[in-house]
Amino acid sequence: MRLLVTGANGLVGKALCTSLVQRGIPFRAAVRSPISVLTGLDNFITGAIDGSTDWQGALTDVTVVIHLAARVHVLNDTAENPLEEYSRINVQGTLNLATNAVTAGIKRFVYLSTAKVNGESTHKGQAFSETDEPNPLDPYAVSKHEAEQGLRQIAAQTGMDVVIIRPPLVYGPGVKANFSALLRAVQKSWPLPLGDIHNQRSLVALDNLVDFIMTCAIHPKAANQTFMVSDGQDISTTELVYGLAHASNVPTHLLPVPIWILQWAGRFLGKGDTIGRLCNNLQINSSKARDLLGWVPPVSVHEGLQRAVDGAVNP
């Protein structure tokens, strides 16, 4: 077995490549430019990823494609037409790669999608599952859903196995964006108005996601399946802050501000989406991964948070 890993220099890609090296599994790392080449590995430089990217050289002697490269969710997006930009990379680029993979005789195509295909939030205790009607609400999620649909059609027409993975928020060493900002605030022991949030959110540790991707690349029962994946332990935002503080060995100063005040302040300051992610529920049911594939997350939430803290970027 030889793998092609796209997006090899991203958060998940780097962790996956490290795991593949440790396991002695041969692979090729696809990166977009010479400056992002991963030292000591078999690299393939793709250039821009869209509907016209030539993947022929990357797919030589490959049996499984793990497609991680994407235009990810962008906060404060400045693109003139965000949906068009997401579609160019996430839909056209993905389906072009899959079509090239079929021509090259690839046996399996593993696609990293997102739980946002299901929607932005859940009612407490009512987790998203793979059988729910998709409800993508922003351009990023719409593009991922459209790519999923196209991949399923290619699989049905050609016989190439397609495996779709929908993770929630991924946390771990090197994570950036909102999680990193929250971690910095916690480590500075700033008073935070997050002491009275009793929501439930599913997360997935980077190490758990990498392990599950590898399972999907080789497990025969994963063929043509869609999976939700998480740590299997949902936590509240308040519990997350306490967990990060404990892992950082710093005191916490949480103020029990009612959620309605946070939501009002978020709308007033134009940060409604950010407050929503802190206060809303977003639970997923990952039992299919356990029941069908026998997969068990190798890392607990406690250990995952400790690894995220130890490998933090600019804490």
- Point out the residues that are catalytic: 140
Under 8 Å between Cβ of 173 and 309: no
Query: For 87, which DSSP code?
Result: I
Q: How far apart are CA 75 and CA 184, in angstroms?
A: 18
Q: What is the 3-state secondary structure (H, E, C) of 164-219?
A: EEECCEEECCCCCHHHHHHHHHHHCCCCECCCCCCCCECEEEHHHHHHHHHHHHHC
Q: Token match 């130890």: residue?
A: 310
Query: Is the four-CA dihedral 229, 234, 238, 241 of positive or negative sign?
Result: negative
| C-alpha closest to that of 127 among 71, 201, 188, 62 | 201
**Both tokens of residue 135?**
């409800």
Q: How far apart are CA 50 and CA 84, in angstroms?
A: 11
Q: How far apart are CA 207 and CA 169, in angstroms?
A: 13
3-state secondary structure of 83: helix
Under 8 Å between Cβ of 20 and 27: yes
**Both tokens of residue 5?**
């890993």
| C-alpha closest to that of 141 among 175, 177, 180, 168 | 168
